[in-house]
Amino acid sequence: MRPLREALVTFQRSPLLSALSVTTIAFSLFALGLFGLVALNIREALERLEDRVEIRAFVTDGTPAEDVVRAATDIAAYPEVLSAQVVTQEQALKRAQAELGEFKDVFEGAVLPGSIDLRLKPGMRDPATVKRVSSRVKAFAFIDDIRYGEEWIEKLYRLRNIAGIAGLALGLAFAIVSVIIIGATIRMAVLARAREISIMRLVGATDAYIRRPFLVEGFAKGVMGGLFALAMTWIAQALIDKYVIHTIFFDARIAFLGLLFGALIGLAGSAVSVGRHLRRV
C-alpha cells in the first residue's frame, strides 16, 4: 500500500512533470505502435499474397489422362503440398475465356495445354521450398514446363524480411529512448526527494524499501503511457482504415503485450535511475 500511496503523492505533488513524462512515454510507444501497425499490415498483406503462390506444371500434349491423375495424386502426398489439381485442356481453355470476359473470342478454336496446379501449405511458400517442389514435379517425364512466378516470390520475401528487421531495429531504438525518458523523469522525482532518501538511509531503511515507490511510479507511468499510446494508435488506425486504405488493428494479445512492454520500460527506467542515485549517495 505504501509504495502505491507514495507514487500517488508524487503524481499529486508534481502533476505537470508527471503528465509530461506520461505523455513522452505515450508518444514513444505511439511511434512504436504505428510502426508495429505498419509491420502488422505488411505481414497481413503478404500472407494474403502468399495464399496466391501457385505452381503450375504444364502437361505434354497427348499424355494419357490416367497418368496425369496418378501423378497429381502422388504430388498431393508431398509433405509441402496442400492440393494438386488436374486441369485438362478444356478446363484450361474455359478458365482463360472466363478470365478474359468480353474478349474471350480470341481463344476461339485455340488449344491450351493441360496442367497440374499445386498449392503449397501455409508456411511452406518460401522461395526455396517452391523451387524444391518445382524441380521434383519437373522430374515427371510428361511435365513440359513449370511456372511459379519465381521473381515475385523472392521479392515478396525480401520485402517481408526488410519489414521485420526494420521493425525490430526501430522497436529497440524506441524502447531505449523510452527507458531514457522514464529514467530522466524518475531521476527528477528522486532528486526532489533526495533529502528524504538520505534520512531514510540514515535511520536504517533498506534500499529495497526506498526503491519500491519509485518502481511503482515508473510502472504506473509506463502503463498509463501504454494506454494512451494504445488509444492514439487505435484512433490513427481507425482514421487510416476509414479514409486511406483498409488496415487491421492489433489483437488483444498484442495490445496487452504492448502495455506490458510499456510497464517494463517504466520499471527499467526507474530501476536504473534510483539504482544509480542509491549507489552515489
Pairing relation of β-strands 81-87 and 115-120?
antiparallel
* Contacting other proteins within 176-205 (CB under 8 A): 195-196, 198-205
* Contacting other proteins within 77-96 (CB under 8 A): none
Radius of gyration, alpha carbons of the chain: 30
- Name the residue nearer to other proteins (CB basis): 255 or 278: 278
Cell of 193: 526527494
Strand order in the sheet with 54-59: 81-87, 115-120, 54-59, 143-147
Minimum distance from residue 163 beta carbon to other proteins (Å): 47
- Name the residue nearer to other proteins (CB basis): 213 or 262: 213
Minimum distance from residue 278 beta carbon to other proteins (Å): 9
4 binds other proteins (CB under 8 A): no
- Name the residue nearer to other proteins (CB basis): 64 or 204: 204
Would you say 218 and 269 are in contact if contact means Cβ atoms under 8 Å apart? yes
For residues 209 to 238, the per-residue mask of contacts with other proteins, x marking binding by CB under 8 A and - elsewhere, is xx----------------------------
- Give the C-alpha separation, 277 to 184, whole Å: 12
- Name the residue nearer to other proteins (CB basis): 133 or 271: 271
Minimum distance from residue 216 beta carbon to other proteins (Å): 16
- Give the C-alpha separation, 100 to 103, whole Å: 5
- Name the residue nearer to other proteins (CB basis): 203 or 244: 203
For 25, residues 6+ apart whose C-beta sits below 8 A from its C-beta are 178, 181, 182, 221, 222, 224, 225, 226, 229, 262, 265, 266
- Give the C-alpha separation, 115 to 167, whole Å: 41
Number of residues that bind other proteins (CB under 8 A): 14
- Name the residue nearer to other proteins (CB basis): 6 or 154: 6
Cell of 215: 518502481
Q: Applying CB under 8 A, which of residues 23, 207, 264, 275 lies at the interface with other proteins?
A: 207
Minimum distance from residue 200 beta carbon to other proteins (Å): 5
**Minimal CA–CA distance to 166: which of 253, 38, 262, 257?**
38
**Minimal CA–CA distance to 161: which of 21, 43, 19, 56?**
43
- Name the residue nearer to other proteins (CB basis): 13 or 121: 13
> How many CB atoms lie under 10 A from the CB of residue 17?
15
Minimum distance from residue 206 beta carbon to other proteins (Å): 5
- Name the residue nearer to other proteins (CB basis): 195 or 253: 195
> How many CB atoms lie under 10 A from the CB of residue 278?
15
Strand-pair partners of 83? 119
Residue numbers at the binding site for other proteins (CB under 8 A): 195-196, 198-207, 209-210
